[in-house]
Amino acid sequence: MNAATPMTTVTRLAIAVAALGYFVDVYDIILFSVVRGESLADLGLDKSAATTTGVWLLNIQLIGMLVGGVVWGVLGDLRGRLSVLFGSIILYSVANLLNAGVGATSGPLAFMSSFDAITAYVVLRFIAGVGLAGELGAGVTLVAELTSRQGRGIAVTIIGAVGVVGAVVAGFVGEFAGWRMAYALGGVMGLALLALRIGVVESGMFNALKRESAGVARGLIPIARSPALALRLLMIVVVGMPIWFTLSVLVGLAPTIAQAMGVSPTPKTGTLVALYYGGALFGDLASGFLSQWLKSRRRAMGVFMAGTAVGCVLVLTLGAHGAYWYGVATIVMGFFSGYWIVVITTASELFGTNVRATVTTMVPNLIRVSAVPVTILFTSLTGSTGGVWAAAITGASCFGLAAIALSTLSETYGRDLDYCES
């Protein structure tokens, strides 16, 4: 397929399913942050217990995503992209539906009252985390292999933009619909996607690999055997680290940083999340189209990474003038952090067909997990330097490492993806 080849109905359907799946994926990730406090209070926990349990729930979901990132990725290279795409959607949709019934004493999910509410909540967040880990990687891999070399960037950009809308919807639904209804809606939306399975086909590259290269190692084994492949995987993860620094520190810990600035009242985290993702929606589109216009993923990521750094500086300087200005700077930061989808596209293009699903599924989850060392560094510095300087030093470390990592990666725009890693 070349640049002039029209996009087929099958390809359009695959893009639609991957995009809507990512919409529900992001909806669930953000929804949990929005309704976590309300749901635990409704289940009878006091503020102190709710905080402790909330952190535990977040960690257990993160562990689930780590496990799922490896499992779904390997299955994608062994069993196929399509099976992982729909398997992951089914898993997190069912988990969401059951989550709506945790502790319920009436209604169609009242049977959930047979289980301890908090234990059930923990188990379901783990299961949801495993499911959430697979959708984006499988969807991007499938779409990248179905579209033309020149068109795949636009296709994946569409997936990213639709996914970001899921974050905005989660904020509104979680705020106004109540936590049970919000979880139920996420589950129903995910299961409704299964109706679109008819007509979606498996990647031709993967089918050819199964037929013609039966002896080729697939999944995690080639990466484990090759230091060069493992280093390439690490480098693309590091390129995405600044994005999760902005989310986990400058947005997630905004009250702490704003208080250190002397801002009162401090900005609300929920409001900043909405502003951040509002900016990211347009940033996803802009970064994707820029990479197409420049015919370069590396240069597009470099431009947006630099813009993200500027946004961080604005948050730490302009933000000191009040919650309003902190929010304005967050929009700028969110816009430039939209290079996330170009990172995922590049990850898919950097590796051969026999390991592509494994890498493309692991990368977004490993980037999310990078929030752990980032927040640990920030916390350890806060006591000695204060919140503002701790954020500045942590951010500078992330951007410095990301710039070095980006310089080591080869250009992938227009690359033929029909090859295997030895």
**Residues 342, 276: Cα–Cα separation, whole Å:** 18
Q: How many CA atoms lie within 13 A of 14 on its CB side?
A: 27
At 58, is the pLDDT very low, low, confident or very high (cuts 50, 70, 90)?
confident
- What does the pLDDT read at residue 238? 97
The answer, yes or no, to whether residue 4 has pLDDT greater than 50, is no
- What does the pLDDT read at residue 383? 84
pLDDT by residue (tens digit) across 143-197?
888 888 888 889 999 998 898 888 888 878 877 888 899 999 999 998 888 777 6
The domains located in the chain, with CATH, are 1-212 (1.20.1250.20), 216-422 (1.20.1250.20)
Long-range contacts, 399-403 (Cβ 8 Å, 24+): 399/242, 399/305, 399/308, 399/309, 399/312, 401/238, 401/241, 402/238, 402/239, 402/240, 402/241, 402/242, 402/305, 403/302, 403/305
Mean pLDDT value across residues 311-315? 96
Given its phi and psi angles, is residue 110 left (phi above 0), alpha (psi -120 to 50 degrees) or beta? alpha
What distances in angstroms separate CA 131 from CA 57, 100, 198, one per listed residue?
A: 15, 17, 21
Quickly tell me which residue has 């890498």 as its tokens: 359
How open is the CA angle 35-46-375, to the nearest 5 degrees?
60
At 54, is the pLDDT very low, low, confident or very high (cuts 50, 70, 90)?
confident
- What does the pLDDT read at residue 203? 66
pTM for the complete prediction?
Answer: 0.86
The answer, yes or no, to whether residue 340 has pLDDT greater than 90, is yes
The CA radius of gyration of the chain, in Å to the nearest whole number, is: 21
pLDDT by residue (tens digit) across 223-261?
989 999 999 999 999 999 999 999 888 998 888 888 889
- What does the pLDDT read at residue 398? 97
Those residues whose C-beta lies under 8 Å from the C-beta of residue 312, and which sit 6 or more positions away, are 245, 246, 250, 333, 391, 395, 399
Share of residues in the chain with pLDDT > 70 (%): 95
